[in-house]
Chains A and B, each alone.
Chain A
Amino acid sequence: MTRISIVGGSGYSGGELLRLVLFHPDCEVAQVTSERFAGKFVHSVHPNLRQVTQLKFCAVDELAPCDVLLLCLPHGETMRRIDEFERLAPKLIDLSADFRLHDEDSYQRWYGGAHVRPDLLGSFAYGIPERHRAAIRDATRVACAGCNATASILALGPLVGAGLVESVVIEVKAGSSEGGNAASAASHHPERSGAVRSYQPTGHRHVGEMHQELGQLPIHFSATAIEMVRGILATCHVFLAEVLEEKAVWQLYRAAYGEEPFVRMVKERSGIYRYPEPKLLAGSNYCDIGFARDRTSNRLVVISAIDNLMKGAAGQAVQCLNIMCRFEETAGLRFPGLHPI
Chain B
Amino acid sequence: MNECVVCGAAVTVADDAVIGELLECPECGSELEVTGLKPVVLSEAPETEEDWGQ
Please report A residues at the B interface, Cβ cutoff 8 Å. Answer: 246-247, 250-251, 254, 265, 267-271
Contacts of B30 in A (CB 8 A): 269
Most buried by A among B5, B29, B31, B47: B29
B25 nearest in chain A by CB position: A269
Contacts of A269 in B (CB 8 A): 28-31, 47
Q: Is the interface of A mostly helix, strand, loop or mixed?
A: mixed
Q: Is the interface of B mostly helix, strand, loop or mixed?
A: loop
Q: How far is the CB of B8 from chain A (nearest CB, A)?
A: 5
Q: Contacts A269-B47, A270-B47: A250 and B29 contacting too (C-beta < 8 A)?
A: no
What is the CA–CA distance of A193 and B6 in the complex, to the nearest angstrom?
Answer: 42
Instruction: Give 20 new A-B contacts, CB below 8 A, not counting A247-B7, A250-B27, A268-B28.
Output: A247-B5, A247-B6, A247-B8, A250-B6, A250-B7, A250-B8, A250-B9, A250-B28, A251-B7, A254-B7, A254-B8, A254-B9, A254-B27, A265-B27, A268-B29, A269-B28, A269-B30, A269-B31, A269-B47, A270-B29
- Count, A-B residue pairs, CB within 8 A: 33
Please report B residues at the A interface, Cβ cutoff 8 Å. Answer: 5-9, 27-31, 47
- Is the CB–CB distance between A246 and B29 below 8 Å? no
Contacts of B5 in A (CB 8 A): 247
B8 nearest in chain A by CB position: A247
Q: Which 4 A-B pairs have the closest CB atoms?
A: A250-B7, A268-B29, A247-B8, A251-B8
What is the CA–CA distance of A265 and B26 in the complex, to the nearest angstrom?
Answer: 11
Contacts of B28 in A (CB 8 A): 250, 265, 267-269
What is the CA–CA distance of A250 and B30 in the complex, to the nearest angstrom?
Answer: 13
A247 nearest in chain B by CB position: B8
Q: Contacts A269-B47, A270-B47: A246 and B6 contacting too (C-beta < 8 A)?
A: yes
A248 nearest in chain B by CB position: B8
B48 nearest in chain A by CB position: A270
A sample of 14 cross-chain residue pairs with beta-carbon separation below 8 angstroms, ordered by A number, consists of: A247-B5, A250-B27, A250-B28, A251-B7, A254-B8, A254-B27, A265-B28, A267-B29, A268-B28, A268-B29, A269-B31, A270-B29, A270-B31, A270-B47
What is the CA–CA distance of A265 and B30 in the complex, to the nearest angstrom?
Answer: 13
Q: How far is the CB of B45 from chain A (nearest CB, A)?
A: 9
Contacts of B47 in A (CB 8 A): 269-270
What is the CA–CA distance of A269 and B32 in the complex, to the nearest angstrom?
Answer: 11
